A = this chain, B = another copy of it.
Amino acid sequence: MDIKQTQAFSAINKATEKAQQLGVNANITILDTSGHLKAFLRMDDAFLGSIDIAMGKAKTSMLFRMNSEAVGEFLNPENGTYGMTNTSGGLVGFKGGMAVKAAGEIVAYIGVSGGSPDQDFVIATAGSEL
């Protein structure tokens, strides 16, 4: 079951409210479970460079079906996975990307960028439960 447009806007609205509480200007991306763009919002004054980071976190989470920071553990060069970070057009392995669930089932992936990784994680989490 892939995410519906009303669900996608609901996820973005929940994330936006949390971002406003934290005083963060975030970019928020919703990808379907195959990685195709479903919805996006750049909050006012959010960094332009964070558009692509938000896209990358959601994509990275989707590609490996785990949080973006969990993929990041595999990207640590100390693990010897040289070049993995450049695969699939570039992976983004820090906090802010995760699955979006409805009734316990994964329906999409969300990527958030604009604050600190910890803030982005909290904002994404707010949008991850429909």
Question: Chain A residues in contact with chain B, CB under 8 A?
Answer: 4-5, 8-9, 16, 32, 34-44, 47-53, 56, 60, 62-65, 69, 71-72, 75-77, 80-94, 117
CA distance A69 to B84 in the complex (A): 12
A50 to chain B minimum Cβ distance, whole angstroms, is 8
Q: B52 touching A88 by the CB < 8 A rule?
A: yes
Please give, as numbers and ranges, the residues of chain B lying within 8 Å of A50 by CB-CB distance. Answer: 64
Please give, as numbers and ranges, the residues of chain B lying within 8 Å of A47 by CB-CB distance. Answer: 63-65
What copy number does this chain have within its complex? Answer: 4
Q: B94 touching A82 by the CB < 8 A rule?
A: yes
Nearest B residue to A78, CB-CB: B77
- 10 chain-A/chain-B pairs, Cβ below 8 angstroms: A5-B42, A8-B41, A9-B9, A37-B51, A48-B63, A49-B63, A51-B88, A53-B88, A83-B91, A83-B93
CA distance A81 to B16 in the complex (A): 23
Q: B85 touching A9 by the CB < 8 A rule?
A: no
Q: B94 touching A90 by the CB < 8 A rule?
A: no
CA distance A36 to B85 in the complex (A): 19
Q: B60 touching A49 by the CB < 8 A rule?
A: yes
Q: B40 touching A40 by the CB < 8 A rule?
A: yes
A12 to chain B minimum Cβ distance, whole angstroms, is 9
Greatest chain B CB density within 10 A among A32, A39, A83 is at A83
